[in-house]
Structure 1
Amino acid sequence: MSEIAIRDGRGDGAFNPVLIGLIAAVGILAFVAMLVLGAYAPDLRSGQNGGGHALSNAATGFSGIVRLAEATGRDPAIMRSLAALDDEEALVVATPDSGADDLSDLLRRHRGKPTLLVMPKWQTAKDPSHPGWVATTGLLPSFDPERLLAPQRKLTVERRRIAGTPLRTVPTDAPSEMHFTAPGGLQTVSGAGLKPIVTDPDGRIVVAQVADSRVYILADPDLLDNRGMADIHQAAAALALLDYLGNRDPNILFDVTLNGLGHSKSPLKLLFEPPFLAATLALAAAMLLAGLHGLFRFGAPRRPQRALAFGKAALVDNVAALVRKARRQAALGARYADLMRQRAATAFAAPARLQGSALDAYLDGLGGRRFSELAAAAAEARDQDHLLSAAQALHDWKREKDA
């Protein structure tokens, strides 16, 4: 269909190009930010959930000992991935939420190196008026911490109310500062193969070394958690205990993978980390260049062409297009031969009474190639190539005679 009118110049856009570009840029940045946060959100969690781990500020958390170790010249670190243990000799402090937590991978990776396992003790509930705080609702059932090393080792947990009673340090080479006092409801552990390091006055084990290993068990977490760090003497004893178990190595790793705060494995993170980061940046640059190429016009705008042009030439072109569409080009051979016959008769002053074969005979008598044979070849053409060749021969014949 033809167009009714053609407008000159550029029409006014429906929207401001600057505004559209700004909206697109904000959308792209928001999408990229969503991808990055989606990939790293698990790694950025603060841990302020009231749990019993090294990121928690709750009474049963262990952030106090971490900050205290850092403030006293040690080098504590939060361990969010067990892969950090592959080349690490430092003491690892693990604080599982339950005795049923799987410790096998951690113990296997850190085999032969110092590892302190802190038994769980308290049942807690979140304090709705103070985010990150908890209220203790009671003690865990004793069977929960007893499963800490199950099924390889059977442990027995006991609780006694001897708050404020000095605890006994067994090793003679222990630091002089490593002297604890019993917290409320002291939790102790017993079992085959446990070597005592700290006990209550009656010899019940509070801190033990698992035989034939460098795995240690702290039966009562109140010696190390934030509640215990409120007492300066308990805090000094806790630091001395960590120094003693880690052979004075200032590096201490506080594990939070057992508490669900470790680095998660995500294919999306591969886009933003070497070696795939280079490919991501190259793709982003290519997309930016493609966007810029589509945003700006290069060169003057081209005016749209009519579907059906004006004038005789356009009429001829349209008729020819219809003939081509119908695939009837070969049927035009006889008509073209009649047209050339009439034009030749007029040009060469053939008598008006001559028609058909008589006129062909007259034209054949002009010499050279016979017109009747050329006209017959055009009428018998069955495809476009033969028709074109026959029509060219008729045209050349007339041009020769005109000359």
Structure 2
Amino acid sequence: MSEIALGGRGTANADSVFSPLTVALMLVIGILGFAGSLLLGAYAPDLRSGHDAGTHALSNAATGFSGIVDLARATARNPRLIRAEAGWDTEDLVVATPEHGSVDMSRFMAARRGRATLIVLPKWASVPDDAVGGWVDVSGLLPAYDPAAVLAPATVMTVSRHPSGARPLHPVRWAPPSLAVSAPRPLQVMTSKALTPLVTDEAGRIVLAQVDGSNTYLLSDPDLLDNHGIRRLDRAGAALDLLDFVNATGARGIAFDVTLNGLGRGHSPLKLAFEPPFLAMTLAIVVALALVGWQALVRFGPAQPPARAIALGKAALVDNSALIVRKAGREGGLGPRYAALVRDRARAIFGVPARLTDVEADRHLDRLQGSATFTALVADAARAEHRADMLASAQALHQWQREKTR
């Protein structure tokens, strides 16, 4: 009684607080949130837009290089972005724009050995503009030792800055004449014994150089390529001619690397679960979990009340006794006992004198009209040896008793 009462109150409270609709909404929101967190965790590096005011090919800031990418695309130079180290293995010209000299360039240089590569040295120290997204506030020039360390220690060079007065640069005679563009202010230059000058200022200081014995090129001043530098038409044309000039292999595309700027796509084991060929296994697991959840939510068949470990009442006693007899294989020996039980009940019902013996009582009961005599039925019950015989004789005795008591 106490269990039923407590269970009834608990059910009422559960129905009022956690209705089926509430539970369904909680499950849907939880599943969608979990799946969304997995997807974002796997693809978060790939979803970064790069609008962080950095000095890379995705940046729209003055010190970024998205403008030259758009310009190259508009002039059919087939630009593309490299967001994984595997993209370094290409014959196209690769333009790298490391933001500091501390960036590890060893793997990049090893992958680009013998292939046309342009490395643009950093120049400006800037911070993102809090007022306008994607803009920068230039706080000054980087220390000269910062860009000088881009290829250190393999290539040792010295970087310096000088007032240029916007005077024209001096390219070598086989370079495009458009490279004789006015110099940025101030002009960042470099000097090194390992560099072959291709473009210099009026004092002979190097602006564009080729690393001796390789197809690697260094551009000392990023203002010749960045968004701020190519805002003028002559600078934009010179920037495109510069890219064509250093593309020594004659490849038909230009690749701008952003992995050195921290915008590469990471190799996440979680991402494998959402890409072929493992996507099929992921979908199979999701379907299996959905079927398990459906089976847990939807009942198959009527509700079965829990059974007691120890049954109570006369019915349980009868069932247990019958089970013991059945286990012992003695059902056939119950015929005489059942006949004696019917005789005792008939004595009381029909007023058989108590002084009569069982045989005399059976003859007395035979006088009652019916389809069979009681003596014959008792004899059939006494001869029963098997379960089927005992059941048939018991049914006959029960039927005799019902006929006489109607």
TM over 0.5: yes
Q: Is the 8 A contact 1:207 1:217 kept in 2?
A: yes
Shift of the 53–17 alpha-carbon distance from structure 1 to 2, 3 Å rule, reads same
What's the counterpart of residue 356 of structure 1? none
Q: Partners in 2 of 1:149 and 1:74 — Cα distance?
A: 28
Which amino acid is 1:79 matched to?
I
The one of 1, 20, 33 equivalent to 1:30 is: 33
State which drifts further: 297-306 or 144-153: 297-306
Q: Is the 8 A contact 1:81 1:263 kept in 2?
A: yes
What's the counterpart of residue 386 of structure 1? none
The one of 143, 146, 152 equivalent to 2:145 is: 143
Once the 2 structures are TM-superposed, how far is the Cα of residue 17 of structure 1 from its aligned partner?
A: 2.8
Kindly, what percent of the aligned residue pairs are identical? 52
Q: Is the 8 A contact 2:95 2:118 kept in 1?
A: yes
SS at match of 1:125: strand
What's the counterpart of residue 67 of structure 1? 70
The one of 117, 120, 123 equivalent to 1:121 is: 123
Q: Is the 8 A contact 1:163 1:186 kept in 2?
A: no
Q: Partners in 2 of 1:4 and 1:250 — Cα distance?
A: 82
Q: What is the CA deviation profile of residues 187-241 of structure 1, one whole-angstrom value per residue up to 9, with x for unaligned ones? A: 1111112111111122211000001100000001111111101111111100111
Q: Is the 8 A contact 1:198 1:205 kept in 2?
A: yes
Which amino acid is 2:66 matched to?
S
Q: Partners in 2 of 1:233 and 1:70 — Cα distance?
A: 18
State which drifts further: 48-57 or 300-309: 300-309
Shift of the 304–2 alpha-carbon distance from structure 1 to 2, 3 Å rule, reads farther
Q: What is the CA deviation profile of residues 58-117 of structure 1, one whole-angstrom value per residue up to 9, with x for unaligned ones? A: 11111111111112222111111111122x101111111111211110111121111111
Which amino acid is 1:148 matched to?
V
Q: Partners in 2 of 1:125 and 1:218 — Cα distance?
A: 23
Matched, 1:39 2:42: yes
Shift of the 22–271 alpha-carbon distance from structure 1 to 2, 3 Å rule, reads same
SS at match of 1:263: coil
What's the counterpart of residue 190 of structure 1? 191
RMSD of aligned Cα (Å): 3.7
Q: Is the 8 A contact 2:169 2:179 kept in 1?
A: no
Q: What is the CA deviation profile of residues 144-199 of structure 1, one whole-angstrom value per residue up to 9, with x for unaligned ones? A: 11112211221011211013111111141x33433321010101111112111111
Once the 2 structures are TM-superposed, how far is the Cα of residue 23 of structure 1 from its aligned partner?
A: 2.7
Once the 2 structures are TM-superposed, how far is the Cα of residue 26 of structure 1 from its aligned partner?
A: 2.4
What's the counterpart of residue 217 of structure 1? 218
SS at match of 2:316: helix
The one of 76, 80, 83 equivalent to 2:79 is: 76
What's the counterpart of residue 284 of structure 2? 282
Gaps of 5+ in 1: 324-339, 348-394
SS at match of 1:217: strand
Shift of the 163–318 alpha-carbon distance from structure 1 to 2, 3 Å rule, reads farther
Q: Is the 8 A contact 2:156 2:194 kept in 1?
A: no
Q: Is the 8 A contact 1:180 1:234 kept in 2?
A: yes
Which amino acid is 1:74 matched to?
R
What's the counterpart of residue 398 of structure 2? none
Q: Partners in 2 of 1:163 and 1:90 — Cα distance?
A: 35
State which drifts further: 241-250 or 219-228: 241-250
Q: What is the CA deviation profile of residues 235-279 of structure 1, one whole-angstrom value per residue up to 9, with x for unaligned ones? A: 110011111212453411111111111111221111112221111
State which drifts further: 233-242 or 258-267: 258-267
Per the normalisation by structure 1, the TM-score is: 0.74
Q: Partners in 2 of 1:305 and 1:159 — Cα distance?
A: 92
What's the counterpart of residue 228 of structure 2? 227
Gaps of 5+ in 2: 325-333, 342-383, 390-406
State which drifts further: 63-72 or 126-135: 126-135
Q: Partners in 1 of 2:144 and 2:279 — Cα distance?
A: 50
What's the counterpart of residue 352 of structure 1? none
What's the counterpart of residue 300 of structure 1? 302
What's the counterpart of residue 181 of structure 2? 180
SS at match of 1:136: strand
Q: Partners in 1 of 2:303 and 2:149 — Cα distance?
A: 79
Which amino acid is 1:57 matched to?
N
Matched, 1:166 2:164: no
Q: Is the 8 A contact 1:69 1:75 kept in 2?
A: yes
Once the 2 structures are TM-superposed, how far is the Cα of residue 307 of structure 1 from its aligned partner?
A: 5.2
